[in-house]
């Protein structure tokens, strides 16, 4: 699936595509819709760097066994394991 956001929309919210991708990843992680690995992949950031981004915003990493299992599945599907 592709999502197209016009340049005009990006200009109106004063964000680059990279910034918007990070904001979306943070929001989806914070609401529990993405795991840490999934959110990091969406943000196109290494997981540790994404964790630093979350920490800079005061967002705690909620990470349990289910998250680990989901992350392992995601990493396998991305060919990173």
pLDDT at 73 exceeding the cut of 80: yes
* Nearest by Cα to 26 from 56, 54, 46: 54
* Nearest by Cα to 68 from 28, 37, 26, 34: 37
| 28-66 pLDDT, tens digit each | 999 989 988 899 999 999 989 999 999 999 998 877 788
Span 7-28, average pLDDT: 94
- Give the domain ranges of the chain: 35-81
For the record, the structure tokens of 41 come out as 């992949």
pTM: 0.73
Q: Which of 10-14, 30-34, 69-73 has the least mean pLDDT?
A: 69-73
**What distance lies between CA 59 and its chain's CA centroid?**
13
Q: How far apart are CA 41 and CA 14, in angstroms?
A: 23
Query: Rounded to a whole number, what is the distance in angstroms from the first to the last CA of the chain?
Result: 24
pLDDT at 22 exceeding the cut of 80: yes
């Amino acid at each position: 699936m592709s999502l197209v956001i016009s340049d005009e929309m990006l200009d109106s919210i004063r964000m680059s595509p990279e910034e918007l991708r990070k904001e979306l990843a943070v929001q989806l992680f914070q609401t529990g819709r993405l795991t840490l690995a999934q959110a990091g992949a969406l943000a196109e950031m290494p997981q540790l760097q994404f964790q630093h981004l979350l920490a800079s915003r005061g967002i705690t990493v909620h990470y349990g066994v289910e998250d680990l299992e989901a992350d392992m599945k995601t990493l396998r599907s991305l060919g990173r394991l």
